[in-house]
Protein backbone atom coordinates (compact mmCIF):
# COMPACT_ATOMS: atom_id res chain seq x y z
CA UNK A 1 0.00 0.00 0.00
CA UNK A 2 2.76 2.39 1.02
CA UNK A 3 4.65 1.53 -2.18
CA UNK A 4 1.57 2.41 -4.29
CA UNK A 5 1.15 5.73 -2.49
CA UNK A 6 4.85 6.51 -3.08
CA UNK A 7 4.45 5.80 -6.82
CA UNK A 8 1.36 8.04 -7.00
CA UNK A 9 3.18 10.88 -5.23
CA UNK A 10 6.16 10.49 -7.57
CA UNK A 11 3.83 10.60 -10.60
CA UNK A 12 2.07 13.72 -9.29
CA UNK A 13 5.42 15.45 -8.75
CA UNK A 14 6.56 14.64 -12.29
CA UNK A 15 3.20 15.70 -13.73
CA UNK A 16 3.29 18.93 -11.74
CA UNK A 17 6.81 19.69 -12.90
CA UNK A 18 5.94 19.04 -16.56
CA UNK A 19 2.78 21.16 -16.28
CA UNK A 20 4.76 24.01 -14.72
CA UNK A 21 7.35 23.86 -17.51
CA UNK A 22 4.58 23.83 -20.12
CA UNK A 23 2.83 26.87 -18.63
CA UNK A 24 6.11 28.80 -18.39
CA UNK A 25 6.99 27.91 -22.00
CA UNK A 26 3.55 29.05 -23.16
CA UNK A 27 3.95 32.45 -21.55
CA UNK A 28 7.49 32.84 -22.88
CA UNK A 29 6.41 31.97 -26.45
CA UNK A 30 3.42 34.31 -26.17
CA UNK A 31 5.70 37.13 -25.07
CA UNK A 32 8.21 36.48 -27.86
CA UNK A 33 5.46 36.41 -30.49
CA UNK A 34 3.82 39.56 -29.22
CA UNK A 35 7.18 41.38 -29.04
CA UNK A 36 7.78 40.77 -32.77
CA UNK A 37 4.64 42.66 -33.72
CA UNK A 38 3.58 45.64 -31.69
CA UNK A 39 0.49 47.75 -32.04
CA UNK A 40 0.52 51.47 -31.30
CA UNK A 41 -2.50 53.73 -31.45
CA UNK A 42 -0.28 56.82 -31.72
CA UNK A 43 3.46 57.55 -31.70
CA UNK A 44 5.62 60.68 -31.97
CA UNK A 45 8.83 60.12 -33.91
CA UNK A 46 11.38 62.38 -35.62
CA UNK A 47 12.63 59.87 -38.20
CA UNK A 48 11.85 56.33 -39.38
CA UNK A 49 14.33 54.28 -41.44
CA UNK A 50 12.87 51.41 -43.49
CA UNK A 51 15.63 48.84 -44.13
CA UNK A 52 16.09 45.38 -45.61
CA UNK A 53 17.32 42.40 -43.55
CA UNK A 54 20.92 43.22 -44.56
CA UNK A 55 20.58 46.83 -43.38
CA UNK A 56 20.20 48.43 -46.84
CA UNK A 57 18.18 51.62 -46.64
CA UNK A 58 14.92 51.65 -48.63
CA UNK A 59 12.96 54.62 -47.32
CA UNK A 60 13.32 57.46 -44.81
CA UNK A 61 10.39 59.32 -43.28
CA UNK A 62 11.77 62.31 -41.43
CA UNK A 63 11.33 65.79 -40.08
CA UNK A 64 13.54 68.56 -41.47
CA UNK A 65 16.25 68.46 -38.80
CA UNK A 66 16.96 64.74 -39.24
CA UNK A 67 16.26 64.47 -42.99
CA UNK A 68 18.65 62.21 -44.92
CA UNK A 69 21.16 64.09 -47.16
CA UNK A 70 20.83 61.45 -49.90
CA UNK A 71 22.90 58.51 -51.17
CA UNK A 72 24.85 57.89 -54.38
CA UNK A 73 26.42 54.43 -54.82
CA UNK A 74 25.87 53.83 -51.12
CA UNK A 75 27.82 56.95 -50.13
CA UNK A 76 26.05 59.73 -48.22
CA UNK A 77 26.14 63.17 -49.80
CA UNK A 78 27.41 66.17 -47.87
CA UNK A 79 25.10 67.29 -45.09
CA UNK A 80 22.57 69.79 -46.38
CA UNK A 81 19.30 71.29 -45.26
CA UNK A 82 16.35 69.45 -46.81
CA UNK A 83 12.60 69.75 -46.25
CA UNK A 84 10.73 67.09 -44.25
CA UNK A 85 9.10 64.24 -46.11
CA UNK A 86 9.84 60.81 -47.60
CA UNK A 87 13.01 59.80 -49.48
CA UNK A 88 13.28 56.51 -51.43
CA UNK A 89 16.40 54.38 -52.15
CA UNK A 90 16.99 51.49 -54.59
CA UNK A 91 19.03 48.28 -54.40
CA UNK A 92 22.15 50.16 -55.56
CA UNK A 93 21.72 52.41 -52.51
CA UNK A 94 21.00 55.47 -54.65
CA UNK A 95 18.35 58.02 -53.81
CA UNK A 96 15.58 57.63 -56.41
CA UNK A 97 13.13 60.37 -55.51
CA UNK A 98 10.65 61.24 -52.84
CA UNK A 99 8.01 63.56 -51.49
CA UNK A 100 9.02 66.74 -49.64
CA UNK A 101 7.02 69.72 -48.39
CA UNK A 102 7.22 72.89 -46.34
CA UNK A 103 5.50 76.23 -45.94
CA UNK A 104 5.84 79.42 -43.93
CA UNK A 105 5.03 83.12 -44.27
CA UNK A 106 8.63 84.18 -44.82
CA UNK A 107 9.85 81.65 -47.41
CA UNK A 108 6.60 80.56 -49.04
CA UNK A 109 5.44 77.01 -49.62
CA UNK A 110 6.29 73.93 -51.64
CA UNK A 111 5.26 70.34 -52.16
CA UNK A 112 7.28 68.24 -54.60
CA UNK A 113 6.97 64.60 -55.69
CA UNK A 114 10.11 63.61 -57.65
CA UNK A 115 11.14 60.57 -59.70
CA UNK A 116 14.87 60.12 -60.45
CA UNK A 117 16.52 58.57 -63.47
CA UNK A 118 18.65 55.52 -62.64
CA UNK A 119 22.05 56.73 -61.37
CA UNK A 120 20.97 60.29 -62.04
CA UNK A 121 18.82 63.16 -60.84
CA UNK A 122 15.09 63.77 -61.25
CA UNK A 123 13.44 63.37 -64.67
CA UNK A 124 9.81 63.80 -63.59
CA UNK A 125 8.38 66.05 -60.93
CA UNK A 126 4.91 66.98 -59.77
CA UNK A 127 5.32 70.24 -57.90
CA UNK A 128 3.72 73.24 -56.25
CA UNK A 129 5.90 76.27 -55.47
CA UNK A 130 4.78 79.57 -53.96
CA UNK A 131 6.58 82.71 -52.83
CA UNK A 132 5.42 86.21 -51.92
CA UNK A 133 5.71 87.25 -55.58
CA UNK A 134 4.60 84.21 -57.58
CA UNK A 135 2.98 80.81 -57.65
CA UNK A 136 3.58 77.89 -60.02
CA UNK A 137 2.41 74.29 -60.13
CA UNK A 138 2.28 71.42 -62.58
CA UNK A 139 4.19 68.53 -64.14
CA UNK A 140 7.84 69.05 -65.16
CA UNK A 141 9.94 66.65 -67.29
CA UNK A 142 13.69 66.66 -67.97
CA UNK A 143 16.17 64.78 -70.14
CA UNK A 144 19.47 63.82 -68.50
CA UNK A 145 22.56 62.43 -70.20
CA UNK A 146 22.88 58.85 -68.96
CA UNK A 147 26.67 59.03 -69.37
CA UNK A 148 26.81 62.01 -67.03
CA UNK A 149 25.71 60.25 -63.85
CA UNK A 150 25.07 61.82 -60.47
CA UNK A 151 28.50 60.68 -59.27
CA UNK A 152 30.21 62.39 -62.22
CA UNK A 153 28.13 65.55 -61.81
CA UNK A 154 28.98 65.76 -58.11
CA UNK A 155 32.71 65.34 -58.78
CA UNK A 156 32.74 67.98 -61.54
CA UNK A 157 30.64 70.43 -59.53
CA UNK A 158 32.88 70.01 -56.51
CA UNK A 159 36.00 70.73 -58.60
CA UNK A 160 34.49 73.79 -60.33
CA UNK A 161 33.02 75.25 -57.16
CA UNK A 162 36.42 75.05 -55.49
CA UNK A 163 37.68 77.32 -58.32
CA UNK A 164 34.95 79.90 -57.55
CA UNK A 165 33.19 79.65 -60.91
CA UNK A 166 29.76 81.26 -61.18
CA UNK A 167 26.65 79.19 -61.86
CA UNK A 168 26.64 80.20 -65.54
CA UNK A 169 30.36 79.45 -65.90
CA UNK A 170 29.84 76.02 -64.29
CA UNK A 171 27.02 75.29 -66.75
CA UNK A 172 29.22 76.20 -69.72
CA UNK A 173 32.17 74.17 -68.42
CA UNK A 174 29.95 71.13 -68.00
CA UNK A 175 28.64 71.52 -71.56
CA UNK A 176 32.22 71.55 -72.85
CA UNK A 177 33.04 68.42 -70.85
CA UNK A 178 29.92 66.82 -72.39
CA UNK A 179 30.93 67.60 -76.03
CA UNK A 180 28.87 70.80 -76.13
CA UNK A 181 25.63 69.10 -75.12
CA UNK A 182 23.74 70.03 -71.94
CA UNK A 183 24.07 67.58 -69.08
CA UNK A 184 20.36 68.07 -68.37
CA UNK A 185 17.58 69.97 -70.11
CA UNK A 186 13.91 70.64 -69.37
CA UNK A 187 11.65 69.07 -72.01
CA UNK A 188 8.08 69.72 -70.94
CA UNK A 189 6.03 71.64 -68.43
CA UNK A 190 2.26 71.32 -68.09
CA UNK A 191 0.65 73.64 -65.58
CA UNK A 192 0.65 77.21 -64.34
CA UNK A 193 3.80 79.32 -64.74
CA UNK A 194 5.02 82.30 -62.71
CA UNK A 195 3.66 84.72 -65.32
CA UNK A 196 0.20 83.21 -64.64
CA UNK A 197 0.02 81.51 -68.06
CA UNK A 198 -1.59 78.06 -67.92
CA UNK A 199 -0.84 75.49 -70.59
CA UNK A 200 1.64 73.12 -72.24
CA UNK A 201 5.24 74.22 -72.84
CA UNK A 202 7.57 71.93 -74.83
CA UNK A 203 11.35 72.32 -75.20
CA UNK A 204 13.94 70.78 -77.54
CA UNK A 205 16.98 68.69 -76.53
CA UNK A 206 18.86 71.83 -75.50
CA UNK A 207 16.04 73.09 -73.31
CA UNK A 208 14.87 75.84 -75.69
CA UNK A 209 11.14 76.57 -75.82
CA UNK A 210 9.77 75.35 -79.17
CA UNK A 211 6.01 74.96 -78.68
CA UNK A 212 3.72 76.87 -76.34
CA UNK A 213 0.00 76.20 -76.08
CA UNK A 214 -1.51 78.23 -73.27
CA UNK A 215 -4.04 80.72 -71.96
CA UNK A 216 -2.33 83.95 -70.96
CA UNK A 217 -2.90 86.32 -68.05
CA UNK A 218 -5.63 88.14 -70.02
CA UNK A 219 -7.45 84.82 -70.61
CA UNK A 220 -6.50 84.83 -74.30
CA UNK A 221 -5.62 81.47 -75.91
CA UNK A 222 -2.18 81.36 -77.52
CA UNK A 223 -0.32 78.90 -79.76
CA UNK A 224 3.34 79.66 -80.51
CA UNK A 225 6.04 77.84 -82.48
CA UNK A 226 9.62 79.02 -81.98
CA UNK A 227 13.06 78.40 -83.47
CA UNK A 228 16.18 77.62 -81.45
CA UNK A 229 16.79 81.33 -80.85
CA UNK A 230 13.36 81.78 -79.30
CA UNK A 231 11.98 83.64 -82.32
CA UNK A 232 8.37 82.89 -83.25
CA UNK A 233 7.84 80.99 -86.49
CA UNK A 234 4.84 82.09 -88.61
CA UNK A 235 2.35 79.32 -89.29
CA UNK A 236 2.96 79.73 -93.03
CA UNK A 237 6.63 78.77 -92.53
CA UNK A 238 5.94 75.57 -90.63
CA UNK A 239 6.87 72.37 -92.45
Q: What average pLDDT does the structure give for the chain?
A: 86
Give yes or no for residue 80 having a pLDDT over 90.
Answer: no
First-to-last alpha carbon distance for the chain, in angstroms, is 118
Angstrom distances, CA of residue 49 to CA of 19, 103, 182: 43, 24, 36
Mean predicted confidence (pLDDT) in 187-192: 98
How far apart CA 117 and CA 119 sit, in angstroms, is 6
Output the pLDDT for position 155: 80
Task: Give per-residue pLDDT as tens, 161-185.
Answer: 777 778 788 878 888 888 888 889 9
Residue, of 236 and 176, whose pLDDT is higher: 176
Residue, of 21 and 130, whose pLDDT is higher: 130
Give yes or no for residue 92 having a pLDDT over 70.
Answer: yes
Do β-strands 184-192 and 135-144 pair in parallel, antiparallel, or remain unpaired?
Answer: antiparallel
Output the pLDDT for position 79: 82
Output the pLDDT for position 33: 56
* Cβ(201)–Cβ(222) below 8 Å: no
> What secondary structure, in 3-state letters, does 26-46 show?
HHHHHHHHHHHCCCCCCCCCC
* Cβ(151)–Cβ(72) below 8 Å: yes
Question: Which residues have C-beta within 8 Å of that of residue 66, sequence separation ≥ 6?
Answer: 46, 47
Confidence of residue 236 (pLDDT cuts 50, 70, 90): low
DSSP 8-state class, residue 104: E
How far apart CA 96 and CA 124 sit, in angstroms, is 11
Helix (H) or strand (E) holding 211: strand 209-215
How far apart CA 125 and CA 184 sit, in angstroms, is 14
How far apart CA 87 and CA 101 sit, in angstroms, is 12
Show contacts of 93-99: CB within 8 Å, 24+ apart.
Answer: 93/56, 93/57, 94/118, 94/119, 94/150, 95/68, 95/70, 95/71, 97/122
Task: Give per-residue pLDDT as tens, 4-63.
Answer: 566 655 655 665 666 666 666 666 666 555 556 778 899 999 999 999 999 999 999 999
Amino acid sequence: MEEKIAKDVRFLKIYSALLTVGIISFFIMSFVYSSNKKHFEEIDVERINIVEDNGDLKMVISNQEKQHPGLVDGEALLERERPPGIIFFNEEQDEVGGLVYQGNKEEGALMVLSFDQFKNDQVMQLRYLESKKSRTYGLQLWDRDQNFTSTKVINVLDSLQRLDYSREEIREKMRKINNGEPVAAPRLFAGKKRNKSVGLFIQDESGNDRIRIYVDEQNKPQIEFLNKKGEEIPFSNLK
